[in-house]
Amino acid sequence: MKGESGKFKIMSILEVQQVPLSPVPCLTEKQKEIEEKKARKDYSGLLPAEIGTDYSFKREIVWTNAMGFLLLHLVALYGLWVMVFHCMWLTDIWAGIVAFGSGLGVTTGAHRLFSHKAYKAPFITRLVLILFHTLAGQNCLYIWVRDHRQHHKYSDTDADPHNANRGFFFSHVGWLMSRKHPAVIAKGKTIDMSDMEADWLVMFQKEHYKVLYTIFAILLPTLVPVLCWQESFYNSFFAAYMFRNVLVLNMTWLVNSAAHLYGNKPFDKYMKPVESSFVAFVSVGEGWHNYHHAFPWDYRAAEFGSKYSITTMVIDFLAWAGLAYDLKTTPYHMVQKRAERTGDGSHPIYGEHAKKLETVGKLDDKDIAEIIKSKEPGVRRLVTAQG
Ligand SMILES: [Zn+2]
Ligand SMILES: [Zn+2]
């Protein structure tokens, strides 16, 4: 007994000495290495969680951009006044149509087709969607797609161009009037854009963006009312270009700001994006953002909201007309599994189960997409989500 108790005593001393000595210095070394890398602005090899958000980082404001955006919004407000009190009603309807078309160019084209490859489309569809995207005036498709892919890959960290941890204003418009964080610059260079570079339509728009912007975003929307129903150039310019353009910009920006801040997280409570029916309404179907960040390849970008999503209806219509195919969805069991394991319990069907589960961390299953509406009728198949 004496010997055994002596042995026990020796073991416990060893344990007491070993426990604090082994894991803690190891973590500290890693942390030190991460902080040193960040200080050197070397973000190579750093994971999103390691980049995080440095709240002490001081943003440098680009004053010409800030004044430009302020002026743009003031002129847009004047445009609203012109629209309400001076324009012919046909011009107002036209401004609405252009706003809707340019919005679809962003959601159906830039977002779901080009950024996420959520479906495939023949040349004619891609051409029309690029024209509609040009109408929206949100920079060329190449830059739009790169920023958006980076936003998904480094969501809500310093490497995300519109990191929502920096607040509503920054993620809405502030990021466009600030110098880029060094992490955004470093990680932006690592985004795979080979598919965009291989598409001559995309590169043509990039190359000639200023001319195309002048023709499709400014002149075309302004001249149609002037030539077709004798509206004055002045009224048409302020309604169909200035007000319409700023309205669509703000509707798009709400996806980056409000849909990352105010709402519930039925699919993944560990991420910042939320479900927002308000943003879904104003952005023609892009507000179901917790689902979208959980399953970015899904052409519906929503589960429940997909029934009322105009963008999804448009893609379904294109598929029906033979103008889109190989639509990627998410297998039902995968949505259930994710909602139960990582949701915040607010899912109307799987929520109760999720509330009862202990925290189990992120789902590490391989992302699987189910292809529907293939060119071969009746074929449904499973592929890796990025394929
Ligand atoms: Zn987002
Ligand atoms: Zn997206």
Expressed in angstroms and rounded, the spacing between residue 279 Cα and the centre of ligand 1 is: 12
Which has more confidence, 196 or 351? 196
| Alpha helix segments (H runs only) across the chain | 2-21, 23-39, 48-51, 63-85, 89-104, 123-136, 141-153, 168-172, 182-188, 194-197, 200-207, 209-212, 220-229, 233-236, 244-256, 277-282, 289-294, 310-320, 332-342, 351-356
Q: Contacts from 79-86 at CB under 8 Å and sequence distance 24+?
A: 79/238, 79/239, 79/241, 79/242, 79/243, 79/244, 79/246, 80/243, 82/234, 82/235, 82/238, 82/239, 82/243, 83/235, 83/238, 83/239, 83/243, 86/235
The mean pLDDT of 141-160, rounded to a whole number, is: 96
Expressed in angstroms and rounded, the spacing between residue 111 Cα and the centre of ligand 2 is: 6
Q: Is the pLDDT of residue 310 over 60?
A: yes
Chain CA centroid to CA 166, Å = 16
Ramachandran category for residue 294: left, alpha or beta (phi over 0 → left; psi -120 to 50 → alpha): alpha
At 81 the pLDDT is 96
Contact 342, 363 (CB under 8 A): yes
The mean pLDDT of 136-160, rounded to a whole number, is: 95
At 84 the pLDDT is 95
Expressed in angstroms and rounded, the spacing between residue 26 Cα and the centre of ligand 1 is: 34
Ramachandran category for residue 334: left, alpha or beta (phi over 0 → left; psi -120 to 50 → alpha): alpha
Expressed in angstroms and rounded, the spacing between residue 310 Cα and the centre of ligand 2 is: 16
At 367 the pLDDT is 67
Other Cβ atoms closer than 10 A to 231: 23
At 361 the pLDDT is 45
Ligand closest to the CA atom of residue 289: 1
What percent of the chain has a predicted confidence (pLDDT) above 90?
67
pTM for the full predicted model = 0.84
Expressed in angstroms and rounded, the spacing between residue 6 Cα and the centre of ligand 1 is: 61
Q: Is the pLDDT of residue 326 over 50?
A: yes
Q: Is the pLDDT of residue 16 over 60?
A: no
Express each pLDDT in 89-124 by its tens digit.
999 999 999 999 999 999 999 999 999 999 999 999
CA distance 373 to 169: 40
Expressed in angstroms and rounded, the spacing between residue 141 Cα and the centre of ligand 2 is: 14
